Amino acid sequence: MIRQGILRICSLYPETRVWVLKRQTSASAIQHDYKNVRPFEEIPGPKPSENNWTFIPGIGNLADLDFNIMSQELYKQYGKIVRVPGPPGRKDMVYLFDPQYIETVFRHQGPTPLRTNFETILKYRHEMRRDFFKGVEGALATQGKEWQNFRMSVNPAMMQPRNTKSYAGPIDSVAKELLERMKDLRDKNGQLPDDFINHMFRWALESICYIALDTRLGCLKPNNKPDSETEKLITAVQVVLKGMFTIDLPPYLIPSEREKLWKEMVESMDFFNELVMKYIKQAQNRIMQRPPDAQKDMSVLETLLIKNEDPMIACVMALDMFLGGVDTTANFSAKVSHFLSRNQDKQEILYEELKRILPSKDQQITANNLEDMKYLKACLKETARIAPITPANFRESHSDMVIGNYLIPKGVDLITGHRVLCNLEENFPEPQKFIPERWLKDSDQLQKAHPFVYLPFGFGARMCLGRRFAELETETLLANIFRNFRLQHDEELKENVHGLSTIANKLNFRLEERS
């Protein structure tokens, strides 16, 4: 029976046979691999009979663990491939803790990879506000051909390096505005307030507003009124992000709490729609009033509006950027700052690099001098290795496939355990130490690491759409901060993990101004 299943697999997806041929050294090895394929039900993991209460808060043994700790426990108890049967109404999940298994998934995901969607966003765009979106539902809420069409429509604006570089000046101005806020916020001892993460959140939101909507909303101004458009936007982003990562992911809410949060989400997303369309109409008017022969580099928003007949594509791209590029960028920048504040020797190496490239503290940062900041980029990569914002990538098996000699049927959620892998000694020696040097050119560790161990932005067709802008924002901010200040912090890194892995520390950095 097992052999018949293997033959069926080979006929359904010949690419698996190609992969086996590439990985094996002889015909006998291939035959042996086929013979040993085992059924899906034999994958190690919690028993299905136990799983009805596994994710119930206060009862289940996995419900009260954050995702990082839960992943580590699954790896320790069950090994490199773990099956977690889904609770009632949810699909089975398979966790993968081997880079070769992860490579199998990514190499054979096809042109339209399937990924677990945020059901709340899909429900809102596809059902509740169907008349508004008119079938354009974005990268966060779609699959298959619909996702591919949207991605092809926005890739020219989002993925071209020259488009990203054109934002270096404006992004630098936003970073310098946060720098001035840091000077105002510090107390007489040079210490920032406990809630400084909120100011980083505002910095990220202001940056996204400029990229997605061609406007500065003034998120970093100290005296915004509570009922201002800016403050409403900040609140709306927080409400929607909380809903996405609380309603859609385990442990699941009781119905009354779910309904309350869903109602708040809908109100916030309605506000998003109104705000974004307001600035899109302003951009359309600017384009119409511009002389046909006017020479002007187009912004991301203008490119999306000119290249696509439907303005809803620009609208949905802006909405997705708000949901995917604010919390992530703010928390990641906070984590890098925290690691450097706790590793003064590495911070001094970075300062020397920045001082050489930026002789003046208030010098404008450009795309060209960012390219020269190799140690800064290494600090970002090392942070993403130790404490990534997204500790795993999620895919759905689009057909039957073989992973680790187990038959994985179509429709299974596959979760790649990058956070666990990046913190194993076998992949990165001294994994708990912050060593940016391991990412510099010609580093032995960099040469030896399996390419599918570390994938902070994903891989392939569904790689993070906003990657280039996220890197530009983060590098520009950190270059400004560490060129101007020495940062210190007393605590080890703490994280909250629910969907995203965010920083839990109070960001009361002590600042010492550089001369």
Q: What is the pLDDT of residues 311-327, one digit of tens each?
A: 999 999 999 999 999 99
Domain count, the chain: 1
Amino acid at 346: K
Residues 478 and 464: their CA atoms lie apart, in Å, by: 21
For residue 512, the surrounding DSSP H or E stretch is strand 510-513
Q: Answer whether residue 74 is part of any domain.
A: no
Cβ atoms within 10 Å, residue 372: 14
Q: Answer whether residue 38 is part of any domain.
A: no
Q: Answer whether residue 383 is part of any domain.
A: yes
221, 200, 170, 145: which is closest to 506 by C-alpha? 200
Q: Answer whether residue 508 is part of any domain.
A: yes
Q: What is the pLDDT of residue 12?
A: 33
Q: What is the pLDDT of residue 42?
A: 94
Contact 46, 63 (CB under 8 A): no
Q: What is the pLDDT of residue 184?
A: 96
Sign of CA dihedral 325, 331, 335, 341: positive
Contact 319, 209 (CB under 8 A): no
Residues 355 and 147: their CA atoms lie apart, in Å, by: 44
Q: Answer whether residue 52 is part of any domain.
A: no
Q: Answer whether residue 450 is part of any domain.
A: yes
Residues 308 and 241: their CA atoms lie apart, in Å, by: 28
Residues of the chain with pLDDT under 50: 1-33
Q: Answer whether residue 86 is part of any domain.
A: no
Q: What is the DSSP string of 446-493?
A: HHHS-TTT--TT--GGGS-TTHHHHHHHHHHHHHHHHHHEEEE--SPP
23, 1, 20, 22: which is closest to 10 by C-alpha? 20
The single residue listed with the structure tokens 């039900």 is: 41
- State the helix-helix crossing angle for 312-325 and 196-213, rounded to 10 degrees: 160
Domain span at residue 159 reads 120-394+412-513
Q: What is the pLDDT of residue 5?
A: 39
CATH number at residue 309: 1.10.630.10
Residues 339 and 503: their CA atoms lie apart, in Å, by: 11
Q: What is the pLDDT of residue 405?
A: 93
Contact 502, 389 (CB under 8 A): yes
342, 440, 321: which is closest to 387 by C-alpha? 342
Q: What is the DSSP string of 296-353?
A: -PPPHHHHHHHH-S-THHHHHHHHHHHHHHSHHHHHHHHHHHHHHHH-HHHHHHHHHH
Q: Answer whether residue 58 is part of any domain.
A: no
Contact 446, 438 (CB under 8 A): yes
Kind of pairing between the strands at 510-513 and 485-488: antiparallel
CA-CA distances (angstroms) from residue 247 to 120, 217, 428? Answer: 7, 29, 35
Q: What is the pLDDT of residue 15?
A: 33
